[in-house]
Structure 1
Amino acid sequence: MLSGVSHTLRGLLDDLQAAANLRPGQMVVVGASSSEVQGQRIGTATSLAVGEAIVDTVLAWATELGLTVAFQCCEHLNRALVVSRSTAVARNLEEVSAVPVPGAGGAVAATAYFRLEDACLVRAVQADAGIDIGDTFIGMHLKPVVVPVRGRTRELGAAHVTMARTRPPLIGGARAVYDVETARQRLQGV
Protein backbone atom coordinates (compact mmCIF):
# COMPACT_ATOMS: atom_id res chain seq x y z
CA MET A 1 0.00 0.00 0.00
CA LEU A 2 2.75 2.48 0.90
CA SER A 3 4.48 2.29 -2.48
CA GLY A 4 1.09 2.91 -4.11
CA VAL A 5 0.55 5.95 -1.88
CA SER A 6 3.96 7.35 -2.81
CA HIS A 7 3.49 6.67 -6.52
CA THR A 8 -0.01 8.18 -6.68
CA LEU A 9 1.02 11.17 -4.57
CA ARG A 10 4.00 11.88 -6.81
CA GLY A 11 1.68 11.92 -9.83
CA LEU A 12 -0.69 14.32 -8.08
CA LEU A 13 2.18 16.62 -7.11
CA ASP A 14 3.41 16.61 -10.71
CA ASP A 15 -0.14 17.55 -11.80
CA LEU A 16 -0.11 20.40 -9.28
CA GLN A 17 3.21 21.65 -10.64
CA ALA A 18 1.95 21.46 -14.23
CA ALA A 19 -1.09 23.58 -13.34
CA ALA A 20 0.55 26.00 -10.91
CA ASN A 21 3.93 26.46 -12.64
CA LEU A 22 5.59 26.87 -9.25
CA ARG A 23 8.98 28.57 -9.17
CA PRO A 24 11.87 27.96 -6.78
CA GLY A 25 11.24 29.59 -3.43
CA GLN A 26 7.46 29.42 -3.62
CA MET A 27 5.53 27.65 -0.88
CA VAL A 28 3.21 24.64 -0.99
CA VAL A 29 0.97 23.75 1.93
CA VAL A 30 0.18 20.08 2.61
CA GLY A 31 -2.69 18.92 4.76
CA ALA A 32 -3.09 15.17 5.11
CA SER A 33 -4.92 12.64 7.23
CA SER A 34 -3.19 9.27 7.43
CA SER A 35 -6.45 7.87 8.81
CA GLU A 36 -8.41 8.94 5.73
CA VAL A 37 -5.75 7.46 3.40
CA GLN A 38 -6.42 4.12 5.13
CA GLY A 39 -10.19 4.47 4.73
CA GLN A 40 -10.90 5.48 8.33
CA ARG A 41 -12.49 8.63 9.70
CA ILE A 42 -10.03 11.51 10.16
CA GLY A 43 -8.19 11.30 13.48
CA THR A 44 -9.16 7.71 14.29
CA ALA A 45 -6.43 5.50 12.80
CA THR A 46 -3.19 7.48 12.70
CA SER A 47 -0.38 5.72 10.86
CA LEU A 48 3.23 6.86 11.10
CA ALA A 49 4.09 4.65 8.10
CA VAL A 50 1.54 6.49 5.93
CA GLY A 51 2.74 9.81 7.35
CA GLU A 52 6.32 8.94 6.45
CA ALA A 53 5.34 7.93 2.90
CA ILE A 54 3.53 11.24 2.39
CA VAL A 55 6.22 13.46 3.92
CA ASP A 56 9.11 11.70 2.17
CA THR A 57 7.37 11.92 -1.21
CA VAL A 58 6.47 15.59 -0.78
CA LEU A 59 9.95 16.56 0.42
CA ALA A 60 11.69 14.75 -2.46
CA TRP A 61 9.40 16.49 -4.98
CA ALA A 62 9.79 19.90 -3.35
CA THR A 63 13.58 19.56 -3.18
CA GLU A 64 13.74 18.80 -6.91
CA LEU A 65 11.77 21.98 -7.65
CA GLY A 66 13.36 24.20 -5.01
CA LEU A 67 10.04 24.70 -3.21
CA THR A 68 9.30 25.41 0.43
CA VAL A 69 6.75 23.18 2.15
CA ALA A 70 4.48 23.80 5.13
CA PHE A 71 2.79 20.74 6.67
CA GLN A 72 -0.52 21.52 8.37
CA CYS A 73 -1.29 20.07 11.79
CA CYS A 74 -4.74 18.87 12.77
CA GLU A 75 -7.39 20.93 14.51
CA HIS A 76 -6.03 19.99 17.97
CA LEU A 77 -3.09 22.29 17.25
CA ASN A 78 -5.32 24.89 15.58
CA ARG A 79 -4.05 23.90 12.13
CA ALA A 80 -0.61 25.34 12.88
CA LEU A 81 2.06 24.38 10.36
CA VAL A 82 5.42 22.67 10.47
CA VAL A 83 8.16 24.54 8.58
CA SER A 84 11.91 24.83 8.86
CA ARG A 85 13.02 27.60 11.19
CA SER A 86 14.90 29.23 8.30
CA THR A 87 11.58 29.44 6.40
CA ALA A 88 9.86 30.93 9.44
CA VAL A 89 12.56 33.58 9.80
CA ALA A 90 12.82 34.37 6.07
CA ARG A 91 9.04 34.79 5.74
CA ASN A 92 8.58 36.51 9.10
CA LEU A 93 6.11 33.85 10.26
CA GLU A 94 4.73 33.85 13.80
CA GLU A 95 6.12 30.88 15.71
CA VAL A 96 3.91 28.99 18.17
CA SER A 97 4.92 26.49 20.85
CA ALA A 98 4.03 22.85 20.39
CA VAL A 99 5.52 19.66 19.01
CA PRO A 100 3.11 17.66 16.83
CA VAL A 101 2.56 14.00 17.69
CA PRO A 102 0.02 11.42 16.55
CA GLY A 103 -3.23 12.42 18.24
CA ALA A 104 -2.29 16.09 18.54
CA GLY A 105 -0.96 17.33 15.24
CA GLY A 106 -1.15 14.11 13.28
CA ALA A 107 1.23 11.56 11.79
CA VAL A 108 2.10 13.72 8.78
CA ALA A 109 2.93 16.83 10.81
CA ALA A 110 4.81 14.76 13.42
CA THR A 111 6.89 13.10 10.71
CA ALA A 112 7.57 16.44 9.02
CA TYR A 113 8.68 17.93 12.32
CA PHE A 114 11.45 15.36 12.61
CA ARG A 115 12.33 15.27 8.88
CA LEU A 116 12.80 19.01 8.37
CA GLU A 117 16.01 20.60 9.52
CA ASP A 118 15.44 22.69 12.67
CA ALA A 119 11.66 22.51 12.42
CA CYS A 120 9.20 24.73 14.25
CA LEU A 121 5.47 25.42 14.24
CA VAL A 122 4.00 28.63 12.89
CA ARG A 123 0.48 29.98 13.29
CA ALA A 124 -0.27 30.60 9.60
CA VAL A 125 1.20 30.87 6.10
CA GLN A 126 0.01 32.16 2.77
CA ALA A 127 1.10 29.46 0.36
CA ASP A 128 1.16 29.65 -3.43
CA ALA A 129 -0.42 26.20 -3.89
CA GLY A 130 -1.55 23.26 -1.83
CA ILE A 131 -2.73 19.69 -1.63
CA ASP A 132 -5.38 18.52 0.81
CA ILE A 133 -5.47 14.78 1.44
CA GLY A 134 -8.49 13.67 3.44
CA ASP A 135 -10.46 16.93 3.71
CA THR A 136 -8.16 18.62 6.23
CA PHE A 137 -9.16 22.11 4.95
CA ILE A 138 -5.96 23.91 3.94
CA GLY A 139 -7.77 26.91 2.45
CA MET A 140 -6.97 29.18 5.38
CA HIS A 141 -3.28 28.84 4.46
CA LEU A 142 -3.51 29.78 0.77
CA LYS A 143 -3.06 33.21 -0.74
CA PRO A 144 -6.12 34.73 -2.36
CA VAL A 145 -7.23 34.09 -5.16
CA VAL A 146 -7.54 30.26 -5.02
CA VAL A 147 -8.00 28.30 -8.25
CA PRO A 148 -8.91 24.57 -8.12
CA VAL A 149 -6.51 22.12 -9.75
CA ARG A 150 -7.75 18.78 -11.05
CA GLY A 151 -5.26 15.94 -10.80
CA ARG A 152 -5.14 12.57 -12.49
CA THR A 153 -7.10 11.12 -9.57
CA ARG A 154 -9.23 12.50 -6.77
CA GLU A 155 -8.13 9.94 -4.19
CA LEU A 156 -4.98 8.90 -2.39
CA GLY A 157 -5.65 5.53 -0.90
CA ALA A 158 -9.20 6.01 0.35
CA ALA A 159 -8.77 9.73 1.06
CA HIS A 160 -10.46 12.44 -0.98
CA VAL A 161 -7.85 14.78 -2.53
CA THR A 162 -8.23 18.39 -3.60
CA MET A 163 -5.51 20.67 -4.90
CA ALA A 164 -5.29 24.37 -5.58
CA ARG A 165 -3.03 27.03 -6.95
CA THR A 166 -3.30 30.74 -6.39
CA ARG A 167 -3.09 33.75 -8.66
CA PRO A 168 -2.76 37.46 -7.96
CA PRO A 169 -6.07 39.33 -7.78
CA LEU A 170 -7.10 40.93 -11.09
CA ILE A 171 -7.30 44.71 -10.83
CA GLY A 172 -8.14 47.55 -13.19
CA GLY A 173 -11.58 46.79 -14.58
CA ALA A 174 -12.66 46.51 -18.22
CA ARG A 175 -9.66 48.35 -19.72
CA ALA A 176 -7.06 46.31 -17.91
CA VAL A 177 -4.93 43.73 -19.71
CA TYR A 178 -3.98 40.59 -17.83
CA ASP A 179 -1.63 38.70 -20.14
CA VAL A 180 1.71 39.75 -21.60
CA GLU A 181 0.98 38.76 -25.21
CA THR A 182 -2.15 40.91 -25.40
CA ALA A 183 -0.21 43.83 -23.90
CA ARG A 184 2.51 43.43 -26.58
CA GLN A 185 -0.12 43.41 -29.31
CA ARG A 186 -1.67 46.61 -27.94
CA LEU A 187 1.73 48.28 -27.81
CA GLN A 188 2.31 47.34 -31.44
CA GLY A 189 -1.12 48.67 -32.43
CA VAL A 190 -2.50 45.27 -33.40
Structure 2
Amino acid sequence: MVDVRTLEDEALHLLDEIKKASFLKEGDLFVVGCSTSEVAGSRIGTSGSEEIAKVMYAVLNKLKEDTGIEPIFQCCEHLNRALLMERHMMKQQGYEEVSAVPVPKAGGSMASYAYKQLQDPVLVESVKGDAGIDIGDTLIGMHLKQVAVPVRISQRHIGSAHVNIARTRPRLIGGERASYEKPSQDVACD
Protein backbone atom coordinates (compact mmCIF):
# COMPACT_ATOMS: atom_id res chain seq x y z
CA MET A 1 0.00 0.00 0.00
CA VAL A 2 1.18 3.49 -0.78
CA ASP A 3 2.12 5.76 2.12
CA VAL A 4 -0.64 8.39 2.35
CA ARG A 5 1.78 11.07 3.57
CA THR A 6 4.12 10.50 0.61
CA LEU A 7 1.15 10.48 -1.75
CA GLU A 8 -0.06 13.80 -0.38
CA ASP A 9 3.43 15.32 -0.77
CA GLU A 10 3.63 14.10 -4.39
CA ALA A 11 0.15 15.43 -5.17
CA LEU A 12 0.91 18.83 -3.63
CA HIS A 13 4.16 19.05 -5.62
CA LEU A 14 2.20 18.28 -8.78
CA LEU A 15 -0.35 20.94 -7.83
CA ASP A 16 2.47 23.50 -7.61
CA GLU A 17 3.73 22.49 -11.06
CA ILE A 18 0.24 22.83 -12.54
CA LYS A 19 -0.18 26.30 -11.03
CA LYS A 20 3.27 27.41 -12.24
CA ALA A 21 2.43 26.30 -15.79
CA SER A 22 -0.21 29.09 -15.76
CA PHE A 23 -2.63 27.55 -18.24
CA LEU A 24 -5.71 27.36 -16.00
CA LYS A 25 -8.31 30.12 -15.95
CA GLU A 26 -11.18 30.70 -13.55
CA GLY A 27 -14.22 28.67 -14.60
CA ASP A 28 -12.24 26.16 -16.69
CA LEU A 29 -13.75 22.69 -16.76
CA PHE A 30 -10.94 20.48 -15.44
CA VAL A 31 -11.46 16.77 -16.19
CA VAL A 32 -10.04 14.41 -13.57
CA GLY A 33 -9.40 10.77 -14.36
CA CYS A 34 -7.86 8.93 -11.43
CA SER A 35 -7.30 5.23 -10.92
CA THR A 36 -6.66 4.79 -7.22
CA SER A 37 -5.70 1.17 -8.00
CA GLU A 38 -2.86 2.38 -10.24
CA VAL A 39 -1.76 4.91 -7.60
CA ALA A 40 -1.53 2.00 -5.14
CA GLY A 41 0.54 -0.07 -7.58
CA SER A 42 -2.17 -2.42 -8.84
CA ARG A 43 -3.80 -2.83 -12.23
CA ILE A 44 -6.57 -0.32 -12.97
CA GLY A 45 -9.94 -1.41 -11.60
CA THR A 46 -8.61 -4.08 -9.24
CA SER A 47 -8.05 -2.50 -5.83
CA GLY A 48 -9.65 0.92 -5.55
CA SER A 49 -9.13 2.95 -2.41
CA GLU A 50 -11.31 5.70 -1.03
CA GLU A 51 -8.41 6.55 1.32
CA ILE A 52 -6.31 7.45 -1.74
CA ALA A 53 -9.34 9.17 -3.29
CA LYS A 54 -9.69 11.31 -0.16
CA VAL A 55 -6.10 12.57 -0.50
CA MET A 56 -6.49 13.26 -4.22
CA TYR A 57 -9.82 15.02 -3.71
CA ALA A 58 -8.34 17.32 -1.06
CA VAL A 59 -5.50 18.34 -3.38
CA LEU A 60 -7.87 18.87 -6.33
CA ASN A 61 -10.14 20.93 -4.11
CA LYS A 62 -7.12 23.10 -3.22
CA LEU A 63 -6.43 23.52 -6.94
CA LYS A 64 -10.04 24.67 -7.33
CA GLU A 65 -9.65 27.19 -4.49
CA ASP A 66 -6.34 28.50 -5.86
CA THR A 67 -7.32 28.79 -9.54
CA GLY A 68 -11.13 28.86 -9.75
CA ILE A 69 -11.33 25.77 -11.99
CA GLU A 70 -14.28 23.39 -11.86
CA PRO A 71 -13.12 19.79 -11.31
CA ILE A 72 -15.19 17.19 -13.14
CA PHE A 73 -14.56 13.57 -12.16
CA GLN A 74 -14.54 10.83 -14.78
CA CYS A 75 -16.08 7.52 -13.79
CA CYS A 76 -14.63 4.19 -14.86
CA GLU A 77 -15.64 2.21 -17.92
CA HIS A 78 -18.47 0.45 -16.03
CA LEU A 79 -20.38 3.74 -16.19
CA ASN A 80 -19.11 4.42 -19.74
CA ARG A 81 -16.71 7.06 -18.41
CA ALA A 82 -19.60 9.33 -17.44
CA LEU A 83 -18.61 12.47 -15.56
CA LEU A 84 -19.52 13.72 -12.11
CA MET A 85 -20.06 17.44 -11.58
CA GLU A 86 -22.10 19.93 -9.59
CA ARG A 87 -25.67 20.41 -10.87
CA HIS A 88 -25.23 24.18 -11.31
CA MET A 89 -22.29 23.53 -13.67
CA MET A 90 -24.32 21.01 -15.64
CA LYS A 91 -27.07 23.58 -16.12
CA GLN A 92 -24.65 26.41 -16.88
CA GLN A 93 -22.91 24.33 -19.55
CA GLY A 94 -26.15 22.96 -21.02
CA TYR A 95 -25.31 19.29 -20.37
CA GLU A 96 -27.91 16.60 -19.83
CA GLU A 97 -28.06 14.52 -16.65
CA VAL A 98 -27.84 10.71 -16.82
CA SER A 99 -29.03 8.33 -14.09
CA ALA A 100 -26.39 6.54 -12.06
CA VAL A 101 -24.58 6.87 -8.77
CA PRO A 102 -20.88 6.04 -8.83
CA VAL A 103 -19.77 3.39 -6.36
CA PRO A 104 -16.28 1.91 -6.04
CA LYS A 105 -17.01 -1.13 -8.25
CA ALA A 106 -19.03 0.82 -10.87
CA GLY A 107 -17.72 4.33 -11.26
CA GLY A 108 -14.48 3.96 -9.35
CA SER A 109 -13.28 4.99 -5.91
CA MET A 110 -12.35 8.54 -6.98
CA ALA A 111 -15.79 9.31 -8.45
CA SER A 112 -17.51 7.50 -5.57
CA TYR A 113 -15.65 9.58 -3.01
CA ALA A 114 -16.19 12.84 -4.93
CA TYR A 115 -19.93 12.08 -5.24
CA LYS A 116 -20.16 12.10 -1.44
CA GLN A 117 -18.30 15.42 -1.20
CA LEU A 118 -20.12 17.51 -3.80
CA GLN A 119 -23.09 19.64 -2.74
CA ASP A 120 -25.49 18.61 -5.54
CA PRO A 121 -23.76 15.94 -7.65
CA VAL A 122 -24.98 14.79 -11.05
CA LEU A 123 -23.60 12.61 -13.81
CA VAL A 124 -23.40 13.63 -17.45
CA GLU A 125 -22.43 11.50 -20.41
CA SER A 126 -19.74 13.76 -21.85
CA VAL A 127 -18.20 17.21 -21.56
CA LYS A 128 -15.86 19.45 -23.52
CA GLY A 129 -13.22 20.14 -20.86
CA ASP A 130 -10.68 22.95 -21.05
CA ALA A 131 -7.92 20.94 -19.37
CA GLY A 132 -7.45 17.81 -17.34
CA ILE A 133 -5.30 15.37 -15.45
CA ASP A 134 -5.07 11.66 -16.16
CA ILE A 135 -3.72 9.69 -13.21
CA GLY A 136 -3.22 6.03 -14.02
CA ASP A 137 -3.95 6.08 -17.78
CA THR A 138 -7.72 6.44 -17.45
CA LEU A 139 -8.09 7.99 -20.96
CA ILE A 140 -9.67 11.40 -20.37
CA GLY A 141 -9.00 12.65 -23.92
CA MET A 142 -12.55 11.90 -25.07
CA HIS A 143 -13.76 14.60 -22.67
CA LEU A 144 -11.44 17.44 -23.74
CA LYS A 145 -12.07 20.13 -26.33
CA GLN A 146 -10.13 20.02 -29.54
CA VAL A 147 -7.18 20.71 -29.71
CA ALA A 148 -5.60 18.97 -26.70
CA VAL A 149 -1.98 19.86 -25.96
CA PRO A 150 0.22 18.06 -23.42
CA VAL A 151 1.51 20.06 -20.48
CA ARG A 152 5.05 18.93 -19.69
CA ILE A 153 5.81 18.53 -16.01
CA SER A 154 8.76 17.06 -14.18
CA GLN A 155 6.66 14.85 -11.89
CA ARG A 156 5.40 11.99 -14.03
CA HIS A 157 3.96 9.76 -11.27
CA ILE A 158 1.75 9.90 -8.22
CA GLY A 159 2.33 6.76 -6.19
CA SER A 160 2.78 4.12 -8.89
CA ALA A 161 0.41 5.79 -11.37
CA HIS A 162 1.58 7.47 -14.54
CA VAL A 163 0.39 11.11 -14.81
CA ASN A 164 -0.49 13.11 -17.91
CA ILE A 165 -1.80 16.67 -17.95
CA ALA A 166 -3.42 18.37 -20.92
CA ARG A 167 -4.74 21.79 -21.78
CA THR A 168 -6.67 22.77 -24.86
CA ARG A 169 -6.29 25.58 -27.36
CA PRO A 170 -8.52 26.93 -30.13
CA ARG A 171 -8.06 25.34 -33.56
CA LEU A 172 -5.70 27.20 -35.86
CA ILE A 173 -7.65 27.89 -39.06
CA GLY A 174 -6.72 29.61 -42.28
CA GLY A 175 -3.83 29.21 -44.66
CA GLU A 176 -0.56 30.87 -45.47
CA ARG A 177 -2.11 34.36 -45.15
CA ALA A 178 -3.54 33.64 -41.70
CA SER A 179 -2.05 35.28 -38.63
CA TYR A 180 -2.36 33.86 -35.15
CA GLU A 181 -1.02 36.87 -33.28
CA LYS A 182 -3.51 39.47 -32.08
CA PRO A 183 -3.09 42.55 -34.30
CA SER A 184 -2.47 46.01 -32.97
CA GLN A 185 -5.45 48.34 -33.21
CA ASP A 186 -4.16 50.25 -36.26
CA VAL A 187 -3.92 47.20 -38.58
CA ALA A 188 -6.63 47.05 -41.26
CA CYS A 189 -7.56 44.31 -43.72
CA ASP A 190 -7.99 45.51 -47.34
TM range (shorter): over 0.9
| Structure-to-structure mapping, 1:38-49, within 5 angstroms | 38-49=40-51
Deviation at 1:60, TM superposition (A): 1.6
Whose helix fraction is larger, Structure 1's or Structure 2's?
A: 1
Counterpart of 2:131 in structure 1: which amino acid?
Answer: A
Name 1:151's counterpart in structure 2.
Answer: 153
Name 2:35's counterpart in structure 1.
Answer: 33
Contact 1:35–1:43 at 8 Å: present in 2 too?
yes
TM-score w.r.t. structure 2 length?
Answer: 0.92
Report SS of the residue matched to 2:176.
Answer: helix
RMSD: 1.7
1:18 and 1:175 map into 2 onto residues whose CA distance is 34
Contact 1:19–1:165 at 8 Å: present in 2 too?
no
Deviation at 1:46, TM superposition (A): 0.8
Report SS of the residue matched to 2:64.
Answer: helix
1:66 corresponds, among 51, 65, 68, to 68
Deviation at 1:131, TM superposition (A): 0.4
Deviation at 1:9, TM superposition (A): 1.9
Name 1:122's counterpart in structure 2.
Answer: 124
1:148 and 1:172 map into 2 onto residues whose CA distance is 23
- Write the deviation string for residues 151-185 of structure 1: whole angstroms up to 9, x where unpaired: 121111000111111000001211111123xx339
Report SS of the residue matched to 1:82.
Answer: strand
Identity of aligned residues (%): 48
Deviation at 1:187, TM superposition (A): 3.2
1:76 corresponds, among 63, 75, 78, to 78
1:166 and 2:168 matched: yes
Q: 1:174 to 1:11 in 2, by over 3 A?
A: farther
Counterpart of 1:187 in structure 2: which amino acid?
Answer: V
2:119 and 2:65 map into 1 onto residues whose CA distance is 13
Deviation at 1:32, TM superposition (A): 0.4
Report SS of the residue matched to 1:113.
Answer: helix
Q: Which moved more, 1:134-143 or 1:57-66?
A: 57-66
Aligned residues: 186
Q: Which moved more, 1:19-28 or 1:70-79?
A: 19-28
Report SS of the residue matched to 1:71.
Answer: strand
2:72 and 2:144 map into 1 onto residues whose CA distance is 11
Deviation at 1:3, TM superposition (A): 2.5
TM-score w.r.t. structure 1 length?
Answer: 0.92
1:111 and 2:124 matched: no
Counterpart of 1:184 in structure 2: which amino acid?
Answer: S
Deviation at 1:124, TM superposition (A): 0.6
Structure 1: gaps (5+ residues):
none
